[in-house]
Structure 1
Amino acid sequence: MVWFSYHGGHSGEFCDHASSSLQQVVQAAIDEGFTHYGLSEHCPRYREQDLYPGEERLGIEGLIRAFEGYVIRAFALREEYARHIELLVGFETEKLPPENWLEAMLSLKSAHPFDYVVGSVHDINGRWVDYSPQETSRLAEDLGGTEALQLAYFRSVTDMVEQLRPDIVAHLDLVRKFEPPGFSFSDRVAKEIERLLDAIQAYGGVIDVNCAAFRNGYGPVYPLPQILSRARQMGIPATFGDDSHGVDTVGVGLEQSRQAICAAGYSQISYLTRDHGWQSADIAEVRPRRSV
């Protein structure tokens, strides 16, 4: 049996909006029965205007130092706990700074021997789409409405996917985070989602079935059932992401991710290993290594 997550492993040690130490997060993953667990800390942001509220005390240099500290600690923990769990070390991208984000992400990727990259988009031209309902609403208004925001978001994710080709594409429909229960995308937006799925399929990307939306009360897991079903029809592999930000969220909600993958018609779930790359496991074999 295998139990895994690749988008998450954030810790308060290196992420200002998370909690716990990185070692505590790793120990929690072991306690929760994970066989494979990915650490994918947020990449640094390189402009003052891209700092989250409250990060001003850290500043740009502080974020860069924190990320370098994460890299050193994560690789050390990977070796220290190798007998207990297979840790994979990666990072989560931003499409920032807008003018040269690709150069920044490729430079970061080549600076260290990361096991994988999680491709994430959280902004439109430097304005957050998922920070608060108020900020998202203002952004939608400035862009010409909710549909315009969603079109801009999916076009941006497609651009990220086509240029960066990340190993895992994160929370595919994050832009619907603050939408009401029962929400569905318009036909125009659905066409952009199809284009995004085409781009993922073209290079063999894997999508993150991310339980953070469910866990935090923002509807079903990412992505919505109809998107996940379409991905399955296209042969796009799916994996787990707990999007944990401390020991209290390690693995929490992944059973809902598993159920969503089953409901979409998948018979197997993909998981990443250090020695053999991507592997597939029958859904019946995907569960924690031991009861907790």
Structure 2
Amino acid sequence: MVWFSYHGGHSGEFCAHATSTLEEVVDTAIARGFTYYGLSEHCPRYREEDLYPGEERLGVTGLAAAFEAYATHAIAMRNARAGQIELLVGFETETLPPDGWLKAMAQLRAAHPFDYVVGSVHDICGRWVDYSATATAALTADLGGPEALQLAYFDAVTNMVETLRPDVVAHLDLVRKYEPAGFTFSNRVSRAVKTTLEAIRATGGVLDVNCAAFRNGYGPVYPLPQILEQAQTMGIRVTLGDDSHGVQTVGVGLEQSLAAIAAAGYRRVSYLTRADGWREALLDTIGPRKC
């Protein structure tokens, strides 16, 4: 059996909106039977206006120092725990600052021996898409309505995929986080989603089937069933992401991700190894390792 997640591993040690130490997160992954576990801490942000609430005490300089400490600590743990679990060390990107994000992410990628990169979009022109329902509603109104917001978001994701070419594409339809139960995208937005999927296929990216939406009460796992079904027909690979932010969420909800993957028609799920790159596992061979 193989058990894996590549989007998550955030810890309160290096992320202000997470809990637990990185060591506690890793030890929990081992205890919960993971054979491969990805650590993908959030990248630093480079402008004061881009800080999450609660990060003011660190500031831009403190965030950069925290990220450097994360990279050093995570790589050391990757080596120290090698006999118990295969840790893969990466980071989660931002499209910030709006005019210089690509250069900033490329510099981070080159600065340490990372195993992979998780490509995420959380903002539109420097305004958060997913931080709070109130902030998202204000952004939606300023852009001219939900469809305009969604089109801008998927355009940003497409651009991120085509230019950064991340290994894993995170929570593809994050923009629908605060939509009501039963939500579906309009035909126009669905065409934009297809363009994004085509970019993922063209660049060889792997789609994060992320259980955080389900776990936190925001509808099905990311992405929606119809998007997963379309990805499957296009031959786009998928992997698992628990989007954990502390020991309490390590691996929690991944069964729903697997169920969504199976329902979309997939028979195999991709997992990343340090020695051999991406490999594939049949659905019935995926699950926690028995102690």
Normalising by the smaller structure, the TM-score range is over 0.9
Deviation at 1:170, TM superposition (A): 0.1
SS in 2 for 1:64: helix
Give distance in 1, aligned partners of 2:15 and 2:290: 29
SS in 1 for 2:56: helix
Give distance in 2, aligned partners of 1:264 and 1:73: 38
1:35 and 2:35 aligned: yes
Question: What corresponds to 1:235 in structure 2?
Answer: 235
Deviation at 1:219, TM superposition (A): 0.2
Question: What corresponds to 2:108 in structure 1?
Answer: 108
Q: How far does the alpha carbon of each residue in 1:152-182 deviate from its partner, in whole angstroms, 9 at most, with x for none?
A: 0000000000000000000000000000000
Question: What corresponds to 2:60 in structure 1?
Answer: 60
Give distance in 2, aligned partners of 1:204 and 1:15: 29
Give distance in 2, aligned partners of 1:31 and 1:245: 17
Question: What corresponds to 1:123 in structure 2?
Answer: 123
Q: How far does the alpha carbon of each residue in 1:19-44 deviate from its partner, in whole angstroms, 9 at most, with x for none?
A: 00000000000011000000000000
Map 1:1-292 to 2 at 5 A: 1-290=1-290
Deviation at 1:290, TM superposition (A): 1.5
Give distance in 1, aligned partners of 2:220 and 2:65: 36
SS in 1 for 2:53: coil
Q: Which amino acid aligns with 2:124?
A: I
Deviation at 1:53, TM superposition (A): 1.2
Give distance in 2, aligned partners of 1:138 and 1:63: 27
Give distance in 2, aligned partners of 1:269 and 1:193: 21
Deviation at 1:204, TM superposition (A): 1.0
Q: Which amino acid aligns with 1:125?
A: C
SS in 1 for 2:91: strand
Give distance in 1, aligned partners of 2:75 and 2:234: 35
Q: Which amino acid aligns with 1:118?
A: V
Q: How far does the alpha carbon of each residue in 1:38-73 deviate from its partner, in whole angstroms, 9 at most, with x for none?
A: 000000000000001121111000100100010010
Give distance in 1, aligned partners of 2:87 and 2:23: 12
Q: Which amino acid aligns with 1:6?
A: Y
Q: Which amino acid aligns with 2:263?
A: A
Give distance in 1, aligned partners of 2:49 and 2:129: 15
Q: Which amino acid aligns with 2:223?
A: P
Give distance in 2, aligned partners of 1:100 and 1:283: 40
Deviation at 1:203, TM superposition (A): 1.4
Large movers: runs of 4+ above 6 Å? none
Give distance in 1, aligned partners of 2:54 and 2:18: 13
Q: How far does the alpha carbon of each residue in 1:65-120 deviate from its partner, in whole angstroms, 9 at most, with x for none?
A: 10001001000100111000000000000000000100000000001110000000
Deviation at 1:3, TM superposition (A): 0.3
Give distance in 1, aligned partners of 2:198 and 2:111: 30
Q: Which amino acid aligns with 1:228?
A: L
Give distance in 1, aligned partners of 2:128 and 2:274: 33
> TM-score, normalization: structure 2?
0.99
SS in 2 for 1:83: coil
Deviation at 1:241, TM superposition (A): 0.3
Give distance in 2, aligned partners of 1:286 and 1:132: 34
Deviation at 1:197, TM superposition (A): 0.3
> TM-score, normalization: structure 1?
0.99
Deviation at 1:268, TM superposition (A): 0.3
Give distance in 2, aligned partners of 1:147 and 1:53: 27
Q: Which amino acid aligns with 1:15?
A: C
